[in-house]
Amino acid sequence: MTRVFLRTVMCGFLFMGFWFSPVSAGVDREKLLTDAGVYGSFAVFTLDDQWGKLDSSIRIARLATLKGVVEQHREHVAIDLYLLRGLADHADLLFRIHGMELRDIQAFLLDLKSSQFGRHLKTAGIMHGMTKKPSYVPGFSEQMKADLASPSEPGQKPYAIVIPVKKSAEWWGMDREKQVAMMQEHTVAALPYLKTVKRKLYHSTGLDDLDFITYFETSKLDDFHSLILSLEKVKEFQYVRRIGHPTLLGVVQSVDEIIESLVQ
């Protein structure tokens, strides 16, 4: 099926009323992605066995409801989609949702699951966290603070990796000065990859069975590989009780690109 044909069919579904809500300006996406105190949820799904047996026209109609749900909730939450199929053995899709209220994220996920498309989704995992102001950076040197402020390389970063992390009780009972020193060593190991690997941290303690969710975007997976190897060599890593399980690797896609991928 060509892209032109798919877009023509999708426009037909739009005209027939598969999208109920008018397109609004939506939330301030950049603010949600940069401010502290924002909730972030990672919802991972597999498609059921019935999905592949459906006729393509039926799949298009049901995928139209996915776009409808995204449009209905974009006034309250920012939604990013990732195709995991082909890169993961346990999941097909990842939704990263940001909101000022966790119940707004919950409302989106409830509507998604109850949609015609969502009824084909089997939950593989959900993780919750929130963004906070950097807690160790104030104790870093001025030069390191300046290095951390350097922008990443421009251009598309198609790959996304999500790694959950849990720290040991020994870490949480450690003196603050020791923690800062170890995190400074951690940061020194990460600095060579700052331009090619974007990173965002979510705090999960009390919201999930994790302590952190680390989110990365890159166009250079070899740099990401080297980054992780470097971080595993620092002293702070000995206090990591869990890293991954699962580690999620996918490709950043728009809603329309996801629809096109899943129609095949």
- pLDDT by residue (tens digit) across 155-192? 889 999 999 999 999 999 999 999 999 999 999 999 99
- Region 41-45: mean pLDDT is 98
pLDDT at residue 20 greater than cutoff 50: no
- Whether omega before 158 lies within 30 degrees of 0, making that bond cis, reads no
pLDDT at 151: 84
Q: Which of 62, 103, 119, 199 is catalytic?
A: 199
For the chain, percent of residues with pLDDT exceeding 90: 80
CA dihedral 47, 50, 52, 56 (to 10 degrees): -110
Of the CA atoms within 13 Å of residue 187, those in its CB half-sphere come to 21
pLDDT of residue 7: 55
Establish whether 199 is a catalytic residue. Answer: yes
Average pLDDT, the chain: 91
pTM of the model: 0.90
Convert the pLDDT of each residue in 95-147 to its tens digit: 999 999 999 999 999 999 999 999 999 999 999 999 999 988 888 888 888 88
pLDDT in tens, 57-80: 999 999 999 999 999 999 999 999
* Res 24: pLDDT: 47
